[in-house]
Amino acid sequence: MSSISKYFQDLQKEMIQWRRLFHKYPEPAWCEFGTAAFVAQSLKEWGFEVCMGKDLICDERMNLPITENLNKFYSLAKERKDLDKALLEKTKGGYTAVAGVLNCGDGPVKVFRVDMDALPINESQLEEHLPFSKGFASAYDGFMHACGHDAHSAIGLGLAKYLSQHKEKLQGKLILLFQPAEEGLGGMAAVVKHPLFKKVDEAYGLHVWANRASNEFISGTFGQLASRKFDVEIIGKASHAALAPEKGINAMLPAAEIILSLEKLKAEFPSHIRLNVGQMQAGTARNIVCPEAHLKIETRAGDTATRDQLFNESIKTIKEITSKYACNCKISVVGESESAASSADLAKVVHQMVMSTGLFSHCIETELHNTYSEDYCTLMNHVQKTGGKAVFMGVGASNQAGTHHQTDFDISEEILWKSATILAELACYN
């Protein structure tokens, strides 16, 4: 066993504590106040240069929650006794990105991405659900870590602690980016233009997969679906539905036709596209002509160009229909990601390194992942376009519980120390 593996085996108990802490206090996109503050104070304690909040977020934040929800989660974080209130203050208003930087002389610039946000899902209260039976299930009704970002944050902290104590093994600049709002596909776009990421030599992203065996490691993925998420507000005019219906403009009619027309539009594109109207809200009462309708829609495709074409055709259809019914419409993009592919030569390096550790018995060099979208792809493409290399890795984490985005989602915590070991090996590699 290598010295790095031994270090993380010894750190495993603390990493589990971190993971369970993050799991107990799940915070959705742009509301990761407690998580960000805990991460920042840990990085600061370990000697990292910390960049966070408004100093790190340098572009518009998409899909920002309403002020009421921002204030709610900030107040919950303020009640905690384990957080540095000065650092917490820097996240106020939804500025929840954190980066820790170690400058270790000449050498490559390496970025390790970690995501932190939770999901709006009620967590299982069944006794067989480990987080519930062990007392670290979500303390916040309606929200839980159902995708493993709590594990990612713990792995990121484990990596940070190791790097801070072994700077003599490092060369160049090491950046640990703890990004918010991955689930909405908007967090990376808000930070990627920061000068920290102007010229990156290597970028590493990692995701735990509860639907894959815990002995599996995927060194490089490709084919994630490019996505664009958008909201449509259709504006009509209210009127009495019996007394003067002719004086109203029914916003529900174009909304209904848009849903049916977008369903037909899918047939004009390749099979790898996805176009979904996930939510419609319309009307105020049965005796009032509907004055407003709201649609939440997403487009996805196997490549960024097709995504853009699908999005543009969808917008054209929406505008034509709303105009036909004499309604106005407002369209707001609330999240997007690109398609990307791991750099083949870097994936090979990762693969050989993982094989050499002996920590995973089933190692895959590259694998097609074309059933989901990933915010990290924005960083991957940025790094590759500016001359660097990037990979997105996958770690099997099954413990036979529910899979991603389900109420009984859980992972095998054994993968915490193993994943951190791989990342530390990559940080030390030159």
160-194 pLDDT per residue, tens: 999 999 999 999 999 999 999 999 899 999 999 99
pLDDT tens digit sequence for 373-405:
999 999 999 999 999 999 999 999 999 988 999
Q: Which pLDDT score is estimated for 271?
A: 87
Q: Within 10 A of 276 (CB to CB), how many other CB atoms are there? A: 14
Mean pLDDT of all residues in 401-424: 96
Q: In which band, very low, low, confident or very high, does the pLDDT at 119 lie, cut at 50, 70 and 90?
A: very high
Instruction: Give the pairing type, strands 226-235 and 328-337.
Output: antiparallel
Side chain identity at residue 412, one-letter code: S
**What proportion of the chain, given as a percentage, has pLDDT over 90?**
96
Across the chain, mean pLDDT equals 96
CA neighbor of 151 nearest in space, from 10, 16, 12, 11: 16
The one-letter amino acid code at 234 reads I
State how far the Cα of 294 lies from the Cα of 392, in Å rounded to an integer.
35
Q: Which residues have CB under 8 Å from 381's CB, separation 6+?
A: 338, 340
Contacts of residue 370, defined as CB under 8 A and 6 or more positions apart, other chains included, come to 223, 224, 225, 272, 302
For residues 32 and 184, the answer to whether their CB atoms sit within 8 Å is no
pLDDT at 287: 97
Higher pLDDT, 2 or 180: 180
pLDDT at res. 1: 72
Question: Could you give the domains of the chain?
Answer: 3-223+340-428 (3.40.630.10), 226-336 (3.30.70.360)
| Percent of the chain surpassing pLDDT 70 | 100
Q: How far apart are CA 357 and CA 366, in angstroms?
A: 18
| Residue-wise pLDDT tens digits, 233-277 | 999 999 999 999 999 999 999 999 999 999 999 999 998 899 999
Confidence check: pLDDT of 430 > 90? no
Across 413-428, average pLDDT: 98
Q: What is the pLDDT of residues 65-102, one digit of tens each?
A: 999 999 999 999 999 999 999 999 999 999 999 999 99
- CA-closest candidate to residue 114, choices 21, 51, 187, 198: 187
Question: What are the pLDDT digits (tens) for 295-317?
Answer: 999 999 999 999 999 999 999 99
Cβ 8 vs Cβ 420: under 8 Å: yes
